[in-house]
Chains A and B, each alone.
Chain A
Amino acid sequence: MGKTLYEKVFDRHTVRQLPSGQYQLFMGLHLIHEVTSPQAFSMLEERGLSVMFPRHTFATVDHIIPTTTQLRPYKDGLAEQMMGALERNTSRHGIRFFSPDKAEQGIVHVIGPERGMTQPGMTICCGDSHTSTHGAFGALAFGIGTSQVRDVLATQTLAMDKLKVRRIEVNGKLKPGVYAKDVTLYIIQKLGVQGGVGFAYEYAGDVFDRMTMEERMTVCNMAIEGGARCGYVQPDDTTFAYLKGREYAPTGAAWERAVADWRSLRSDADAEYDDVVRFDAADIEPVVTWGITPGQSTSVGGTVPRAEEFSADERATVLEAYRYMQLEPGQPIAGTKVDVAFIGSCTNGRLSDIAEVARLLQGKNLKVSPGVRALVVPGSHEVKKAAIAAGYDKVLTDAGFEFREPGCSMCLAMNPDQLVGAQLSASSSNRNFKGRQGSSTGRTLLMSPAMVAAAAIKGEVADAREVFGV
């Protein structure tokens, strides 16, 4: 019987089985940022431990960094303190820091891939749940807590359980104007936010085969929102073409050896899965969330579902979502007024996301609706530079969008970009939890960057295919 990629990579990194029955797993790449690492370094120091392999850990600053200006000191003293701690810890332990000073900084899940650090067959961890993003390359990548960051710093290993593997196939062809974000939101809508607990997701089939690496990253990024700690796509020529020539990618003869190795890690044709689910690409429409979990969503032409459509078990959350979101069951989601439009985050803050929005706006003389605050926040300095070089920033700002400095921005409430009061945000980020975007009554509708742009233009949720004439 064959093996899945998950099993092959897991086995390759197993140091030993622990007395508890868990496995001690070697971590090939460890990414850290300012929020979940300072306590880990303090714990190391308290225990008199050092960093075992500083060359396998890389740092950046993303959650707390302001996006209007990156000049120091930050106005927020706490943010400044966190940045200072990261600078001290990385310099003391000899860890490479992709810093704003050198214009190398970006969201941790954007810079890993763009530097070629993220590669097929690796184990990757970071104190951030959206580490699942890196699975797009056929790596096992998962979020960890701060005590585990400490363990990885001290031992380059983690105590892990083996997950089950669910193969999710999406076959056929996506309709025009349907994006990777819609695919990943659709899967969560169908399988539920708890559906993936205990599983690694293997995304397979025509749709993922045809996707670019950045689209695959969008899909894997949200595996965790479906409860799956990691999700991956098999490495293929698209993966190798993306990696070739990047800073940390192998070169010359080593490149050929690497590609041969990466190919060998693909799931075998006779691999057995714990579960297989299949979807038809033609059934997927642009998706918009209406509730307070990423699974509470509908298609742009749909309505806020009625409580009777849910199991008794889900109903309490559904009723709470109506109340919190100030939406009525049966109400069409299109036409919902928005106050803020946010394009960015580790889900949709890459060059192709910004390029697509610029392409849709280009030459149409469309303007952001008066009263809507519209932000485009590149995922990294590299993304920002490339967007400017291509003239996308000009297209966006001409249309009334703000084009900012790189960071996590309005995905979460740790920097100055926040909702106020019960503002409603059309957001290309990954979580619509209560209070997520910085106001304890703020409301978030998740959607693709194209749909966010359409909402910005119309001042309400609208079908991007109609707004931009797709």
Chain B
Amino acid sequence: MTIDSRRIVLKGRAVPVRGNDIDTDRIIPARFLKTVTFDGLGEHAFEDDRAGLRQQGLVHGFDEPKFAEATVLFVNKNFGCGSSREHAPQAIARWGKGIQVIVGESFAEIFYGNCQQLGIPCPVVDAAGAEMLMSLCEKQPDLEFEVDLSLLEIRAGGTTARIKLPDGPRKSFLEGTWDSTGILLSAADLIQKKDAELAYLRRYAD
């Protein structure tokens, strides 16, 4: 049996996490990085944010029983800024049923790239679209969202929102080629050639 790594239409319930500039220290506090695996990170996703809200008598989306089934995450701007820790998307992917796609207004670059490496698409939506999607899942947490990377839209409850995803990542998700190691390794000859070509790798010895 082979695992189908294509990501064409991702379906599931959604959870909103509102706010701009949510950094990776908030997504997974550094104390949980003391590990040599990614196991068990899911339960600690947003741990300090969750505790902080509880103290204010509020509830984080990841603590709401009504969102426990979610596999789609809605966020706002510059999500995942800060450190390069892949533990951040790994924690999100391991929370609850496992988040499979993150839709937001914008993403920090390293976070975005890390998600791509894990097969988690991060399509973007405009501010109005993000608000509509967040409100919709808050009102109807059992609603199923269909994130369609082929048609570049999200469908839910009769409404549709446009999403964007750059051609390169989109193609790799649609074709299931987002795991880059094999593709990079297929150019082993060219890599060796490049290594021989770069003078600084031999300290400019002639």
By a beta-carbon cutoff of 8 Å, the part of chain A in contact with chain B is: 12-13, 15-16, 18-22, 24, 26, 28, 35-36, 38-39, 42, 47, 49, 52-53, 56, 63-64, 76, 78-79, 81-82, 85, 119, 121-122, 127-129, 131, 142-148, 150-151, 154-159, 161, 193-194, 197-198, 224, 227, 229, 248-251, 253-255, 257-258, 261, 293, 313-314, 316-317, 320, 412-414, 431, 433-436, 438, 440-441
Contact = CB atoms under 8 A, between A and B. Distances in A.
Interface in B174-206: 177, 180-181, 183-185, 187-188, 190-191, 194-195, 198-201, 203-206
A357 B52 CA distance: 36
Given A28-B200, A39-B36, A257-B206, A148 B21 contact: no
A441 B49 CA distance: 10
A129 B20 contact: no
Given A154-B181, A194-B77, A413 B30 contact: yes
Central interface residue in B36, B168, B201, by most chain A CB within 10 Å: B36
Nearest to B49: A434
Contacts of B51: 440
Given A151-B180, A154-B185, A261-B204, A26 B109 contact: no
A38 B108 contact: no
Of A56, A248, A254, most B-chain CB atoms within 10 Å: A254
Contact of A440 (B29, B85, B108): B29
A257 B84 contact: no
A131 B84 CA distance: 10
Contact of A24 (B20, B49, B187): B187
A20 B34 contact: no
Contacts of A36: 84-86
Give 6 nearest A-B pairs by CB, closest first.
Answer: A145-B114, A145-B86, A147-B117, A143-B84, A38-B36, A20-B168
Nearest to B26: A434
Nearest to A229: B109
Nearest to B88: A145
Most chain A beta carbons < 10 A, residue from B38, B83, B113, B201: B83
B82 A129 contact: yes
B122 to A, nearest CB: 13
Given A150-B181, A258-B200, A434-B48, 6 more contacts: A52-B191, A145-B85, A157-B187, A194-B20, A414-B30, A440-B29
B134 to A, nearest CB: 13
Contacts of B166: 21, 161
Contacts of A258: 199-200, 203-204
Interface of B: 18-21, 23, 25-26, 29-31, 33-38, 48-49, 51-52, 77-78, 81-87, 89, 106, 108-110, 113-114, 117-118, 166-169, 171-172, 177, 180-181, 183-185, 187-188, 190-191, 194-195, 198-201, 203-206
Nearest to A142: B110
- Taking each of A146, A255, A293, A412, which has the highest tally of chain B beta carbons within 10 Å of its own beta carbon? A146
A431 B52 contact: no
B110 A129 contact: yes
Contact of B31 (A224, A254, A413): A413
Given A39-B38, A82-B34, A435-B26, A145 B113 contact: yes
A78 B34 contact: yes
Contacts of B187: 15-16, 24, 155, 157
28 contacts: A12-B198, A18-B183, A38-B37, A42-B36, A47-B181, A52-B188, A52-B191, A63-B33, A76-B34, A78-B34, A122-B200, A129-B82, A131-B84, A144-B84, A147-B86, A150-B181, A154-B185, A156-B191, A157-B184, A157-B191, A159-B183, A194-B106, A251-B203, A254-B206, A317-B20, A433-B23, A433-B25, A440-B51
Nearest to A262: B200
A415 B64 CA distance: 32
A15 B25 contact: no
A247 B48 CA distance: 43
B184 A154 contact: yes
A127 B85 CA distance: 7
Contacts of A436: 25, 30
Contacts of B85: 35-36, 145
Nearest to A122: B200
B114 A128 contact: no
Contacts of B114: 145-148
